[in-house]
């Protein structure tokens, strides 16, 4: 299957090329970038040298020739591509935020008018597999909502309040340098940001509601001086207490058969480079503490996008993603 990656010069684009190299049913034939047009992919992604001779191109959206596309572009940019791709029968996973939320919520959260809105399945396979399977277009979840929602989902209906506290690696800010990601400001440091106003909380609240929960949901992210990974601590406050054995049984039953969710003590090093989400739980009676770990560039972005592609195209769900994490 011929694959186009629109916006391939960033971290998620590079991870898509890396992971798809091992996918037996996929071949990347188009990798777009305005700034890098004509240059080989390894000029930006040196880890790909020797694995691909592909060069960046900058075609008009109507000239993109592929059977499947990944939109690895910023929010507001994806909506300029999505309609054309669908009209020409190119199945697509969008890694931006443009189709994750209902239109009114998207416009309120992102402060822009959506110019080409349509509804799309929210591509968190562990919760929405049936909607994703066979779809023509899927909205890939944000990295923070992936780790947070998987942590809370089994007990969301029992909670009246859910508080997410997440720590992320610097790659979550993207490849473009800024004062926030400048090494002297990040190294040997640890900071909270957007304490009450991060855009991803809208996705978290949407998914909690879809699980049938009326719980209040709060989120604060922190920036870790590491390259990749998200460690999320979810505090689930319950009306009725639950014992440790009952909580563990609930999670084991909820995620039974889910290959990419592992119930074990979470650590960033245990999921780095992989599509796994590791989850650990501990009961304090009416407060349940759940910790999840994901690689923000894989299960939080490119890996989950390929997982969705597999479902959309009828492939085995873990095809191309059955890789062991990279220990330090």
Dihedral, CA of residue 243, residue 249, residue 251 and residue 252, to nearest 10: 160
What is the length of the chain? 328
The answer to whether the beta carbons of residues 140 and 305 sit under 8 Å apart is yes
Q: Two tokens at 294? A: 């994901």
Distances (CA, A) of 146 to 2, 67, 296: 27, 27, 9
Residue 143 designated active-site: yes
Query: Which residues are CB-neighbours of 287 under 8 A, at least 6 positions away?
Result: 235, 236, 237, 238
Q: Two tokens at 73? A: 């572009």
Site of tokens 């959309």: 312
Q: Two tokens at 52? A: 């691909």
Backbone angles phi, psi at 312, to 5 degrees: -65, -35
Which entry of 143, 217, 277, 313 is annotated as an active-site residue?
143
Site of tokens 């106003």: 197
Q: Report which DSSP code applies to 141.
A: P
Active site residues: 143
């Amino acid at each position: 299957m011929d694959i186009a990656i629109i916006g391939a010069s960033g971290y998620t684009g590079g991870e898509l090329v890396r992971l798809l190299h091992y996918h037996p049913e996929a071949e990347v034939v188009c990798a777009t970038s305005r700034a890098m047009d004509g240059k080989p992919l390894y000029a930006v992604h040196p880890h790909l040298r020797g694995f691909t001779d592909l060069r960046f191109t900058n075609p008009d959206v109507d000239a993109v020739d592929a059977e499947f596309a990944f939109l690895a572009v910023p929010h507001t940019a994806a909506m300029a591509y999505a309609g054309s791709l669908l009209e020409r029968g190119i199945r697509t996973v969008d890694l931006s935020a443009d189709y994750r939320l209902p239109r009114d919520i998207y416009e309120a959260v992102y402060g822009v008018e959506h110019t080409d809105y349509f509804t799309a399945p929210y591509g968190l396979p562990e919760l929405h597999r049936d909607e994703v399977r066979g779809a023509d277009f899927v909205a890939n979840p944000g990295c923070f909502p992936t780790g947070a929602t998987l942590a809370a989902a089994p007990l969301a209906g029992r909670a009246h309040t859910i508080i997410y506290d997440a720590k992320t690696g610097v790659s979550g800010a993207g490849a473009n340098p800024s004062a926030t990601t400048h090494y002297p400001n990040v190294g040997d440091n640890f900071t909270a940001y957007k304490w009450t106003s991060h855009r991803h909380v809208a996705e978290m609240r949407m998914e909690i509601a879809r699980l049938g929960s009326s719980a209040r949901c709060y989120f604060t992210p922190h920036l870790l001086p590491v390259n990749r990974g998200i460690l999320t601590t979810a505090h689930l406050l319950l009306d009725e207490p639950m014992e440790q054995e009952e909580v563990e049984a609930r999670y084991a039953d909820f995620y039974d058969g889910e290959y990419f969710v592992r119930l074990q003590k979470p650590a960033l090093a245990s999921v780095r480079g992989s599509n796994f989400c590791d989850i650990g739980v501990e009961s304090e009676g009416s407060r349940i503490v759940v910790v999840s770990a994901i690689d923000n560039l894989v299960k939080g972005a490119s890996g989950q996008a390929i997982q969705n592609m597999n479902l959309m195209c009828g492939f085995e769900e873990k095809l191309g993603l059955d890789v062991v994490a990279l220990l330090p």
